[in-house]
Structure 1
Amino acid sequence: MPSSGLFARLAPKEPLPLIQAEAISPAVILFADIYNYEELIRPLLSWGRLPALVQGFNQLISSMTAVILRHQGYLIQTTGESYQALFGAPTTFSDPAQEEESFRQTIAQALRATLEMMEALKNFPSTGAGSLKLSAGIDWGEAYLLLRGDSLQSPAQEILLAGETACMARRLNELARDNEVVITNLVDEADRQFVQEVISASGFRMFTQKTEMKGKKGKILRILEEGKEEPAGGPADLWSQMFPFPR
């Protein structure tokens, strides 16, 4: 058993307790990961270059975080290969129309950040054969910020993002292929047109697709690059193809 190094710090211990919670509504949540991150890490691991691996992840985190912040997002968690970000803040509106427009703009911020992250990865130095690519899921609704720590004054604190919206963003990400974004379906035609205008500026298009997640059927919007083929079968039940559930 190793007696020093990082492994030695894995001593069994109780997790920090949750000490505070705050509801955020409306919240737009992005969950994204590097679709082919093994292009970055496998060569470095095979060469035994762990310091270079740490440096590469730090550069990756810095690059992705800068994009999120530029679009007024908040990076909640990252492992270097995956990123969870919150867009939006608690705001009170007296005019419903103003509230709706603000919500649209927040969704646009998350979308633009995601597409810019994809573009940044194209120029990120990779040790593999191709450039790094992103897959992402975006959902919106109510979310909860949770504060974990010994006390409100303790320097050892961690902020988490929880709730159905956070879970759904992660599930939608699992449906996305390389350089794709999967978002909650939009019923209102004005909302769909707004999103189309946002993504077309970056050379992307979208289409509606039927899905089934955890036994519940519904629809999603798949956003992909112009010219990229749609998944086999068109608007098929892709989730069921990937993760079969009993009928």
Structure 2
Amino acid sequence: MANWIDLNADLGEGTGNDSAMMRYITSANIACGGHAGDETTMRQSIELALENNVAIGAHPGFEDKENFGRIPLELSSAEWRDQITRQLELFDGVARSTGAKIQYVKLHGAMANMTAADRNLANVAYEAVKSFRSNMMILTIANSHQGAAAKALGLENVEEAFADRAYTDEGLLASRSLAGAVLSQEKQVIEHITRLLSDAKVRTITGNVIGLNAKSICLHGDNEHAVALAKSINETVKSLGLDVKSFANKN
């Protein structure tokens, strides 16, 4: 069992939970204006991250605020690259104005799901990231095409698991449309996290147990119980004898 784990959360999305969530996480995936956010929210989230020694990650998604970036879009490779590059450049400008730097990239929503399932799309997305910065770290979905694509491009990647999501027998995230795909009870989430961190295993949506390795756990911050659950997860990690620290903070 590793002696540390990163806790990441999607922030800058207008939930109002950012400040409270920062107390319990170590990496912040900040919306870059595509699926959510603008220069003001980016600056607010970056400044909160700096105050709390939380790593700053860019969180680009499809430029579709109406659907929060959760609807798959049929785009050309050039359009994929343009959307990702545009958001990274905007976010980078805001970060630099605060004296900060983008430390990693994590894709959002449908963009993340599509690249997890399709190696060609993952290649396109991470080629855009590499063109923006050749040594950018990538936070990828465990057991997906994202990790393989990042490695092939020579980008350092760290794999994540999800605190509140069930997995298929193949080790992929179960579709939200399936009953039981989202773990809604704190007891379920804590059992899931404890098994993952203690044994590197998860119980699948069909009841089987499979192996799953991850160095980061994603906590969702977009519901009314998010902050309380983040506190419980943070405490659970520490009770297992693990340090809570970011994969991206080198100091």
Query: What TM-score comes out, normalization by structure 1 length?
Result: 0.28
State the structure with more CA Rg: 1
Query: What TM-score comes out, normalization by structure 2 length?
Result: 0.28
Structure having the larger proportion of residues in strand: 1
